[in-house]
Amino acid sequence: MDFDLSAEEREIRDWVRTFVRREVMPLEQQALERERRHERGITPDELKALQDKARTAGFFGIQTPESHGGMGQGAVVAALIEIELGRSFVPFRFAGEADNILFSANEEQQERYLVPTIEGTRRSCFAITEPGAGSDARAIRTSARREGDEWVINGEKTFITGGNEADFVMVFAVTDKEKGADGGVTCFLVDRDRGWRSEPIDTMGEWGPAALVFEDVRVPHSAILGEEGRGFELAMRWIGKGRYMLPARALGSCERLVEMGMEHARNRVTFGQAIAERQAIQWMVADSAVEIEALRWLVLTAAWQVDRGLDSRQSQSIAKLYGGIKANEIVDRVLQIHGGMGYTRELPVERWYRELRLLRIYEGTDEIQRRTIARNLLRGHASVRGHLG
Ligand SMILES: Cc1cc2nc3c(=O)[nH]c(=O)nc-3n(C[C@H](O)[C@H](O)[C@H](O)COP(=O)(O)OP(=O)(O)OC[C@H]3O[C@@H](n4cnc5c(N)ncnc54)[C@H](O)[C@@H]3O)c2cc1C
């Protein structure tokens, strides 16, 4: 058993760590000030300039295959990178990524959607959730009706990340009511100029997702991604692509938060002593460190299983559930250590507090992860002994 990183993994991790420290963290103060004015913390031009800089050093499309111009890295490296990126709340990510399911597109669709998404000239969004169907995604009602060589889409999607900015949507619609999610849901690639509308949704986070409205939106038969009726599998593939990535980012945030908490605790004197000397504060630091360490191995084990081609679904759900719960407890403790200052917008702690809350909701709520974990165990698909058996 080898818990170490290879020389290459270490080199990549260290490069990203330095990049985040030198290029991303200096933008934090400005990002906080802008967000206080309800502006975006980082403008699209600033993000692009940073991404271009990283690209010249070879950091482009971390998991995008080399055949498509990317680095073709595996899940462990992607997780290591995500942890480093999570250390700053500035929403930076490397360019050159595309939704995994776009790689199943036919040649013509790849030219139209996949290649420009990788190049950053077109933006996608993924739309399955509806006002009446979130956790229970099989209950979607958006419909697509065939009329000759065209399909006519009607329905409403909600909470769609990037839906306000997207140039096209991967939308999931019922094409056969009888079959429903078992062979009756189809994924369509729909350009915005086909007539769907988006409306921003105000959230606790710094910028919101969108509600999408489809009213008699007509698309040609060639807009189908994959096979007619096989959309639900594509949706599950998109959602399952990398559950370990969400807690990986949260892990980086928690590391930084605890460092901030310790720094504050060393400097803040009450009743003649630094609060770092108080057991109440030390226990918060200790509990957080233990949980961070546990989360690190849950995330990396799940990623390692992905790289090995093992069935990683149980490990990914465990990492996502534990990461969501613990990240929220840790940010709460760090806010507490900062006292009143933790509650202000002078510091990023309250910002992280709001951001990390989402982790317990999207891409499968805590309750749905628990349901998956328990079902896998009870049906014998997974063991409480983990992958070692
Ligand atoms: C900021 C944000 C971005 C998002 N981005 C996207 C996106 O890009 N694309 C997309 O398609 N969707 C997206 N979503 C939707 C997200 O995946 C759903 O919100 C999530 O799956 C939960 O669905 P729901 O909101 O309908 O809650 P519900 O399913 O209504 O659940 C409500 C509560 O009941 C619990 N619950 C539900 N079923 C059970 C059960 N069987 N047993 C026990 N408890 C249960 C849930 O855990 C939750 O606590 C996003 C959501 C948010 C908030």
pLDDT in tens, 86-101: 999 999 999 999 999 9
Going from the Cα of 360 to the center of ligand 1, the distance in angstroms, rounded, reads 9
What does pLDDT average to over the chain? 97
Please classify residue 146 by burial: count the beta carbons closer than 10 Å to its beta carbon, then call 0-12 exposed, 13-18 middle and 19+ buried: exposed
- The fraction of the chain above a pLDDT of 90, given in percent, is 96
389 pLDDT band, cuts 50/70/90, is confident
Mean pLDDT of 24-38: 96
The single-letter DSSP state of residue 42 is: S
CB 132: neighbour CB atoms within 10 A?
11
What residues line ligand 1, using a CB cutoff of 6 Å?
A: 126-129, 134-135, 159-161, 203, 209, 358, 361-363, 365, 367-368, 371
In this prediction, residue 242 carries a pLDDT of 86
- Which of 137-151, 162-176, 235-249, 257-271 is the least confident region? 235-249
In this prediction, residue 90 carries a pLDDT of 97
Known catalytic residue at 363 = yes
Q: Which atom of ligand 1 is nearest to the CA of 135?
A: 29
37 pLDDT band, cuts 50/70/90, is very high
* Among protein residues, the one whose CA lies closest to atom 30 of ligand 1: 134
Q: Which atom of ligand 1 is nearest to the CA of 162?
A: 8
Alpha carbons 48 and 327: distance in angstroms, whole number: 29
Alpha carbons 188 and 194: distance in angstroms, whole number: 12
Q: Which residues pair with 273 in a beta bridge?
A: 270
| Most informative mutation of 128, 159, 241 for ligand 1 (most atoms within 8 A of CB) | 159
Determine if the pTM surpasses 0.75. yes
16 pLDDT band, cuts 50/70/90, is very high
In this prediction, residue 1 carries a pLDDT of 87
In this prediction, residue 316 carries a pLDDT of 96
Query: Given 82, 291, 355, 363, which residue is catalytic?
Result: 363
Which tokens is 358 given? Answer: 């989402």
| Beta carbons within 8 Å of 139's beta carbon, 6+ residues apart | 132, 133
* Among protein residues, the one whose CA lies closest to atom 2 of ligand 1: 159
- The fraction of the chain above a pLDDT of 70, given in percent, is 100
Please classify residue 95 by burial: count the beta carbons closer than 10 Å to its beta carbon, then call 0-12 exposed, 13-18 middle and 19+ buried: buried
pLDDT digits (tens, 9 = 90+) for 203-227: 999 878 999 999 999 999 999 999 9
Going from the Cα of 198 to the center of ligand 1, the distance in angstroms, rounded, reads 19
Question: Do the Cβ atoms of 181 and 170 come closer than 8 Å?
Answer: no
User: For 293, what's the count of Cα atoms within 13 Å in the CB-facing half-sphere?
Assistant: 7
In this prediction, residue 63 carries a pLDDT of 96
